[in-house]
Amino acid sequence: MRAFANAVMRYTALTFIALMGAQAQSKPNIVFFLVDDLGQRDIGCYGSSFYETPAIDALAKAGLRFENAYATCHVCSPSRASILTGKYPARLNLTDWLGGRPERDYESLHSAERVKALPESEITLAETLQKLGYATANYGKAHLRRDPTSYGFDEAITGWVRSFYYPFAPGYTGKLPAKEGDYFTDKLTDAALDFIERKKDQPFFVHLEHFAVHDPIQGRKDLVEKYKQKLAKMPKQDGPGYILETNPDGPALSNAELEAIANEQSFENTQDKRVWWVKQRQDNAEFAGMVEAVDQSLGRIRSKLKQLKLEENTIVIFTSDNGGMAASNQYCEINKPRKDLDWRFSSSNLPLRGAKGWNYEGGIRVPLIVYWPGQTKASQTSQALVTGTDYYPTLLRMLGLPAMPDQHVDGKNFVPALKGESYERGPIFWHFPHYSNHGYQSPDGAIRIGNYKLIEYYENHTVQLFDLEKDIGEQRDLSKEKPEIAKKLLNQLQHWRKEVDAKMPPEKVSK
């Protein structure tokens, strides 16, 4: 019955979209520039003094920069699905990256059931724009286990990357022309520029999903050399290069216990104690080379738009799919040569806590810059709350098109914030019923309302409450000091999970 209802709703929506298609010729173009694993603090205009991002900074000067933008998940696939569907990962039941990681015997919960591909019933943003007469292209890391041409893209060059230097991976053979010495980020940009050139006479939607700055952490050689020289001239940074983060849902560890783990580093040791190393400095020349290559890509895109006299009729959205990889992927030692560490740990998210794979701010707060010609004022910042579900309804409103509330049910139109008007989004929710391979913390969920953010862990039902206005680094847990606020947010989070039918991780049955 549900399948029939979905089919009827889908047919009705697509018929409506088709009727609107004749209006599309006068609509603005859209470039959605999505970077993989780029932390908010990895950009000059967001505070980085090591990475150089002149093109991104220039976009911020031309448009509007958001301080409180969030991914809907701290790993990639759920976040990307939300952007295209306007729905939370929990509602889609696409709550982890597609592969996920194997369960471990020591974990007390099973991973929750989930779908492992973008559901076919979803009418994506790309599909809507395509029906409205837009030429649509997806280049880079789609990571939704479906060919993007099956959900609204006319053209697609996507896949995994094994090396940022040619040959990139077997899947790109014949799809992305390249030769020995070519760098993947540059070639992906070439493909996007070619599409823009070919489609300049009709509205277009370019979803440029850079695989950078995801690992393998492999910068472009000329830029890596530049940053090695820059690093050599910098004064030594204060503080530790890495710290051990504990599992807040487990027993507290003493300083002596943490010191013992630090002195005897091993996968088994950190796994058993549930602690993880988190990078504290932006000093990785390889990663810096990746960041600047992405910055140059954005610069080239904007230069092409200017050359074709399309700059003033093209909306540009720049963001990331989740926070930076300050906590390594299943790697637990820092007593290794610098080269090995630079291959494993990308950057520091400070002053934000945590990293990709965590529901602390370092894992979910992302950069967001929107350039909307004639609408956004130059060099402005916004404190408005925004998340990945919100792009779908917002872009429809920017294009002067009716909303599709049955589709982007979790999205909020933030056009008022873009225009500098009063805007109150309401709460943002997160749900990750799995163990991440970046830290191995308990499965958890979170809610942010105003300045307050609460995290609930699913193993032992520990909660943490933070006031992000006063404590952006999430160092002071207020759950005991402000129990009424904690209870209110926890009730809202749990009510939301029921509303969206969020799947929970079941307990393991003891044999």
Q: What is the 3-state secondary structure (H, E, C) of 195-233?
A: HHHHCCCCCEEEEEEECCCCCCCCCCHHHHHHHHHHHHH
d(Cα 306, Cα 35) in Å, to the nearest integer? 22
Instruction: Flag whether 260 is in a domain.
Output: no
Say how many CA atoms lie within 13 Å of 504 toward its Cβ: 12
Residue 320: predicted pLDDT: 98
Query: Helices 184-198 and 285-307 sit at what angle, rounded to 10 degrees?
Result: 10
Phi-psi region of 70 (alpha: psi -120 to 50; beta: other; left: phi over 0): beta
Give residue 128's domain range. Answer: 2-99+114-228+280-427
Instruction: Flag whether 208 is in a domain.
Output: yes
d(Cα 104, Cα 172) in Å, to the nearest integer? 34
Residue 467: predicted pLDDT: 98
> Rounded to whole angstroms, what are the CA distances from 229 to 292, 339, 502?
15, 15, 49
DSSP sequence for 398-462? HTT----TTTSTT----HHHHTT-------EEEEE-S--TTT-PPPEEEEEETTEEEEEETTT--
Instruction: Flag whether 483 is in a domain.
Output: no
CB–CB of 42/355 below 8 Å? no
Phi-psi region of 502 (alpha: psi -120 to 50; beta: other; left: phi over 0): beta
Q: Which residue has the tokens 């092409």?
A: 304
* Mean pLDDT, contiguous 10-residue spans, the chain (511 residues): 52 54 69 98 98 98 98 97 98 93 88 94 97 97 94 96 95 92 98 98 97 97 98 92 91 88 81 88 98 98 98 98 92 87 95 96 98 95 98 97 96 97 96 90 95 97 97 98 98 98 91 46
Residue 511: predicted pLDDT: 46
Residue 335: predicted pLDDT: 87
Beta bridge partners of 446: 430, 455
d(Cα 418, Cα 317) in Å, to the nearest integer? 12
Phi-psi region of 400 (alpha: psi -120 to 50; beta: other; left: phi over 0): left
d(Cα 162, Cα 165) in Å, to the nearest integer? 9
Instruction: Flag whether 452 is in a domain.
Output: no
Residue 93: how many CB atoms within 10 A of its CB?
A: 20
d(Cα 255, Cα 49) in Å, to the nearest integer? 32
Helix (H, G, I), strand (E, B) or coil at 69: strand
d(Cα 392, Cα 486) in Å, to the nearest integer? 31
DSSP sequence for 104-160? -TT-SBPPPP--SS--TT---HHHHHHHTT-EEEEEE---SSS-GGGGT-SEEEE--
Instruction: Flag whether 493 is in a domain.
Output: no
Instruction: Flag whether 192 is in a domain.
Output: yes
Q: How many domains are there within the chain?
A: 1
Instruction: Flag whether 375 is in a domain.
Output: yes
Question: Residue 54's domain is classified under what CATH number?
Answer: 3.40.720.10
Residue 24: predicted pLDDT: 45
Residue 10: predicted pLDDT: 59
d(Cα 449, Cα 426) in Å, to the nearest integer? 6
CB–CB of 290/403 below 8 Å? no
Q: Residue 250: which of 411, 408, 108, 103 has the closest Cα?
A: 108
d(Cα 138, Cα 21) in Å, to the nearest integer? 20
Instruction: Flag whether 480 is in a domain.
Output: no
Q: Which residue has the tokens 């990750």?
A: 432
